[in-house]
Structure 1
Amino acid sequence: MDNVTPLGGDVYEIDTRMAGYSGVTAGYLILGDRPCLVETGTSTSAPVVRDALTSLGVGPEDLATVVVTHIHLDHAGGVGDIAGYYPSAEIVVHEKGARHLADPSRLMASARMVWGDKLDSLFGSLAPTDAARIRALGDTGSVDLGGGRELASHYSPGHAKHHVGLLDSATGDLYVGDAAGVYLPETGDLRPATPPPDFDLQTALDSVALFGALGPQRLLFSHYGPVADVATTLERSADELRVWVDLTRQAHSEGMDLDHAVAMVREKTRERYSAMASENEETAERFELLSGAPSNVSGIMHWLDRTKARNP
Structure 2
Amino acid sequence: MDTTITPLGGDVYEIDTRMAGYSGITAGYLILSDRPCLVEPGTAGSAPVVRRALEDLGVGEKDLATVVVTHIHLDHAGGVGDIAEMYPDAEVVVHEKGARHLASPERLMRSARMVYGDRLDTLFGELKPTGADRIRAVDDTGVIDLGGGRRLESYHSPGHAKHHVGLLDSRTGDLYVGDAAGVYVPETKDVRPATPPPDFDLDSALDSLRRFRELGPQRLLFAHYGPVTEVEETLERSAEELRVWVDAVRDARDEGLDLDHAVAMVRDRTRERYVVLQEGTDPELTEKYELLSSAASNVAGIMHALDRHA
Tell me which residue corresponds to 1:253. Answer: 254
1:29-48 → structure 2 map (5 Å cutoff): 29-48=30-49
Tell me which residue corresponds to 1:88. Answer: 89
**Distance in 1 between residues matched to 2:223 and 2:66, nearest whole Å:** 18
Matched residues, number: 308
Cα deviation digits, residues 110-169 of structure 1 (max 9, x gap): 000110110000000000000000000011001000000000000001100000000000
Residue 308 (structure 2) aligned to one of 301, 306, 309: 306
Tell me which residue corresponds to 1:129. Answer: 130
Tell me which residue corresponds to 2:143. Answer: 142
1:1-312 → structure 2 map (5 Å cutoff): 1-280=2-281, 281-308=283-310
Cα deviation digits, residues 193-232 of structure 1 (max 9, x gap): 0000011110000001110000000000000000000000
**Distance in 2 between residues matched to 1:138 and 1:224, nearest whole Å:** 26
Cα deviation digits, residues 21-70 of structure 1 (max 9, x gap): 00000000000000000001000000000000000000000000000000
**Distance in 2 between residues matched to 1:282 and 1:126, nearest whole Å:** 27
**Distance in 2 between residues matched to 1:42 and 1:291, nearest whole Å:** 16
**Distance in 2 between residues matched to 1:229 and 1:278, nearest whole Å:** 26
Q: Counterpart amino acid of 2:94?
A: V
SS state of the match for residue 126, structure 1? coil
SS state of the match for residue 162, structure 1? coil
The offset of 1:182, in angstroms, is 0.1
User: Which range moved further: 211-220 or 284-293?
Assistant: 284-293
Q: Counterpart amino acid of 1:92?
A: V
Q: Counterpart amino acid of 1:192?
A: P
Identical amino acids, percent of aligned pairs: 74
The offset of 1:278, in angstroms, is 2.3
SS state of the match for residue 45, structure 1? helix
The offset of 1:287, in angstroms, is 1.4
**Distance in 2 between residues matched to 1:5 and 1:53, nearest whole Å:** 12
The offset of 1:19, in angstroms, is 0.2
For structure 1, which runs of at least 5 residues remain unmatched after alignment? none
SS state of the match for residue 278, structure 1? coil
Cα deviation digits, residues 177-205 of structure 1 (max 9, x gap): 00000000000000010000011110000
**Distance in 1 between residues matched to 2:75 and 2:62, nearest whole Å:** 25
Q: Counterpart amino acid of 2:258?
A: D
SS state of the match for residue 45, structure 2? coil
- After superposition, the CA RMSD in angstroms is 0.4
TM-score by length of 2: 0.99
For structure 2, which runs of at least 5 residues remain unmatched after alignment? none
**Distance in 1 between residues matched to 2:128 and 2:114, nearest whole Å:** 18
The offset of 1:286, in angstroms, is 1.3
The offset of 1:282, in angstroms, is 1.4
**Distance in 1 between residues matched to 2:176 and 2:18, nearest whole Å:** 19
SS state of the match for residue 44, structure 2? coil
The offset of 1:277, in angstroms, is 1.2
